[in-house]
Amino acid sequence: MGLLEGRKGIIFGVANEKSIAWAIAQKLHKEGAELAFTFAGEALEKRVRPLADSLGAKLILQCDVTKDDQIQSVFEQVQSSFGYLDILVHAIAFANKEDLKTDFLSTSRDGFRLAHDVSAYSLTALARQAAPLMQGRPGSILTLTYYGAEKVVPRYNVMGVAKAALEASVRYLAADLGPKGIRVNAISAGPIRTLASAGISGFMEMLHYVEAKAPLRRNVTAEEVAGTALYLASDLSSGVTGEVIYVDAGYNIMGM
């Protein structure tokens, strides 16, 4: 019997088979969770639907997380199909490419607003709709962050500031939802080659630097991040909430 047998979950943020969110979905499914998936538009639907179908997903829903009516519709369909919800995986982040190419000082007002809306506020918007479906359940909400939320990473720019807001949101949501028995945590993953990382200028340089400086002298895999996600989604982490857990080969502990 799997760690998540009988649990229901929803995954936001799968882009393709290399997505961290996809690795997480596979791990949760293997341990018995029944999953729903969302996609942001037609282009992504063509990638997400075959992957979700391969796990026997009954719900594959469109959701633009900047639109409250679409978020509400998704959770209404989840309630109708599942009846309840145990797991919410938030793996969504976006910033305009031009805001990741120069310096943070050049960030436009609209670019700042968009990065925070999609990458940070969406967690709160999703959690608000998920919470009623998790009451009385061992609810677990988890999101993905990065070390650039704490320290300056060249060309990560407004995304780093948005991730800082995301990490603060994790703590405040954990405090709000804890009395309902719902846990909220984040995984701070080391750099991994994904569709999202391709938009960061100098990403390959980041990979090589972490490999050279991290205590384990290597980068991490999406599967390793997924293992931590399984821990956070299961009863193994029943006493853990409001935390940022690093899966980065130890890179975050280094000073010089």
A 10 A CB-CB count for 47 gives 17
The C-alpha angle 134, 139, 144, rounded to 5 degrees, equals 120
HSE, side-chain direction, 13 A CA sphere, residue 113: 4
Supply the DSSP string of 95-157, one letter for each residue: --GGGGTS-GGG--HHHHHHHHIIIIIHHHHHHHHHHHHHTTS--EEEEEE-GGGTS--TTTH
Active site residues: 146, 156
Asked if residue 33 lies in contact with residue 202, where contact means CB atoms within 8 angstroms, the answer is no
Which residues have a Cβ under 8 Å from the Cβ of 195 and sit 6 or more positions away? 15, 16, 18, 19
Name which of 160, 154, 157 is nearest 188 in CA terms.
Answer: 160
Which residues have a Cβ under 8 Å from the Cβ of 88 and sit 6 or more positions away? 9, 10, 12, 126, 127, 130, 134, 139, 140, 141, 142
A 10 A CB-CB count for 168 gives 12
Alpha-carbon torsion (173, 166, 122, 136), positive or negative: negative
Name residue 194's amino acid. T
